[in-house]
Amino acid sequence: MKRPAAPGYSAFMSSKPYAARRAQLAERLRAAGSGVALLPTAPERPRNADSDHPYRHDSHFHHLTDFDEPQAWLVLRSDGHSTLFCRPADPEHAVWHGHRLGTEAAPEVLGVDAALPIGSLNEAMPALLAGQGAVWFPFGRHPELPGQIEGWLATLRTQERRGIECPTQCRDLHPLIAEMRLVKDAGELATMRRAASISAAAHRRAMRYCAQRFRQGASAVHEYEIEAELLHEFRRHGAQSTAYPSIVAAGANACVLHHPAGPARLLPDELCLVDAGCELDGYASDITRTFPANGCFSGPQRTLYELVLAAQQAAIDATRPGLRQRDAHHAAVRVLAQGLLDLGLLSRETHGGVDDVIASAAYRAFYMHGTGHWLGRDVHDVGEYLSQGEAPIEQPDGLGGTVVKRPSRVLCPGMVVTLEPGLYVRPAPGVPERYWNIGIRVEDDAIVTDSGCELISRGVPVEPDEIEAWMRD
């Protein structure tokens, strides 16, 4: 529904999804014994002198408010009443830094029940806490918050003799909101598809840029040049920022899992690993592609690439409702373990068969991370990975032994995961030299659907022949 626009806010923004989320959280508070939830947004962070880092809201806060200004708090009671504390509108400030929404416009624009100036927080909060059984706030995310709450409660305790009840419990709000965020609604999924599309275009641009540079006679391309192509494409299509620091790894640097783009030179016969994604309207994308700098895989490069791609396909096949989040990893590991034996990177005489390689975790010399993670507002998004309602069972510990722990949780439609197997071959005794210094990772973003999963990042080529064809054009 169209509503009045405040300066800097679209008249066609809808507060309905955020009001529904607040109502859902209030219901969870009631189910847990009632109380009041306190949630500040992220602080502004100084960069140097009088300059701040680009501001980014707190993900929990934005998920419930759609408000991305700093110095703001949400107070939500279990009866559903919501109060926003924010900065007042300030015409003089607007001349220098732009318009603020302000307390007068906030209820209409954001759909909250009341808005108060942030300067009144300490004065108003004791009354908002009065009569509540518990205070809910995210533990460990705002270091100063427990002290602030204790101060407000201390003020309330002085009024208990007048019959004003003071909360008697402090409880962690994070798990309640994390579970809400784990399953995405239709609007969230639409935004994530768009973010993945923008990121895929950036990866295509990076591939073609490298091929063109080498066709033009360049002897090398710097990692930071490739990063610049990514950033240009992100912003050109409206993404507000990167979702995480971009990884651009030339040659042997691809064997460093989180290698930042730097001055290293990518040579024509090397592979380039790019792990980069944009953030769009508060939602992350996360894509990795590995491609030949000059547009043509060598024999050993293609062999390892096809093995990683086969492992990813096994993970894709294991990503559907009813299966567990960890099943994709187990499926990918089995394919990689078999391939490592077949290619001679692991010796059957030393390591045995596939089951032995998995049980001893010998594959971890070449593949040392998991196959995926939750994706959403954060690139490593919130939500429990382990089942909450099942008894612990004995599981492999990845080191040749076992550990008793809960199984991973069952997937359901609306969850979003990454699927990202890889191989990283460093020079080592017994490792065929033709594979040395080859690092490969292939990563896509997948929405769990009713019947399987939807890969929303396949706008960038992934098959080796498709990569080579794209880079030739």
Catalytic-labelled residue, pool 420, 444, 445, 468 = 420
Catalytic-labelled residue, pool 227, 279, 378, 443 = 443
Residue 123 CA to residue 116 CA, distance in Å, equals 11
Q: Is there a contact between 264 and 437 (Cβ–Cβ < 8 Å)?
A: no
Catalytic-labelled residue, pool 69, 213, 441, 468 = 441
Catalytic-labelled residue, pool 227, 275, 281, 445 = 275
Residue 52 CA to residue 222 CA, distance in Å, equals 29
Active site residue 258: yes
Catalytic-labelled residue, pool 3, 174, 369, 458 = 369
Residue 376 CA to residue 182 CA, distance in Å, equals 8
37-62 burial, b for 16+ CB within 10 Å, e for fewer? bbbbbbeeeeeeeeeeeeebbbbbbb
- 285: nearest Cα among 184, 192, 373, 415: 192
Residue 95 CA to residue 429 CA, distance in Å, equals 65
Residue 180 CA to residue 223 CA, distance in Å, equals 39
Active site residue 381: no
- 274: nearest Cα among 255, 250, 295: 250
The single residue listed with the structure tokens 């300030």 is 90
Catalytic-labelled residue, pool 50, 92, 144, 433 = 50
Active site residue 441: yes
Contacts of 108 (CB under 8 A, 6+ apart): 3, 4, 6
Indicate the DSSP class of residue 443.
B
Active site residue 351: no
Active site residue 50: yes
User: Residue 178 to residues 6, 138, 322, 384: CA-CA distances in angstroms?
Assistant: 30, 10, 21, 8
Active site residue 286: yes
Catalytic-labelled residue, pool 258, 349, 433, 473 = 258
The dihedrals phi and psi of 39, each to the nearest 5 degrees, come to -145, 105
Catalytic-labelled residue, pool 209, 283, 305, 424 = 424
Catalytic-labelled residue, pool 69, 229, 233, 286 = 286
Q: Which two tokens stand for residue 457?
A: 């990042």
Angle at 272 between CA 347 and CA 280, to 5 degrees: 120
The dihedrals phi and psi of 122, each to the nearest 5 degrees, come to -65, -35
Active site residue 329: no
Active site residue 420: yes
63-66 contacts: CB < 8 A, separation 24 or more?
Answer: 63/18, 63/21, 63/177, 63/180, 63/181, 63/282, 63/377, 64/18, 64/21, 64/22, 64/25, 64/39, 64/177, 65/18, 65/110, 65/112, 66/13, 66/15, 66/17, 66/18, 66/110
Catalytic-labelled residue, pool 380, 397, 463, 465 = 380
Identify the sign of the CA torsion 120, 122, 126, 129: positive
Active site residue 213: no
- 174: nearest Cα among 59, 18, 86: 59
Active site residue 373: yes
Crossing angle of helices 186-215 and 464-472, rounded to 10°: 60
Tell me the one-letter amino acid at 58: D
Active site residue 174: no
Q: Beta-strand (E) ranges in 79-168? A: 82-86, 114-117, 134-137
The dihedrals phi and psi of 170, each to the nearest 5 degrees, come to -115, 130
Catalytic residues: 50, 258, 275, 286, 369, 373, 380, 420, 424, 441, 443
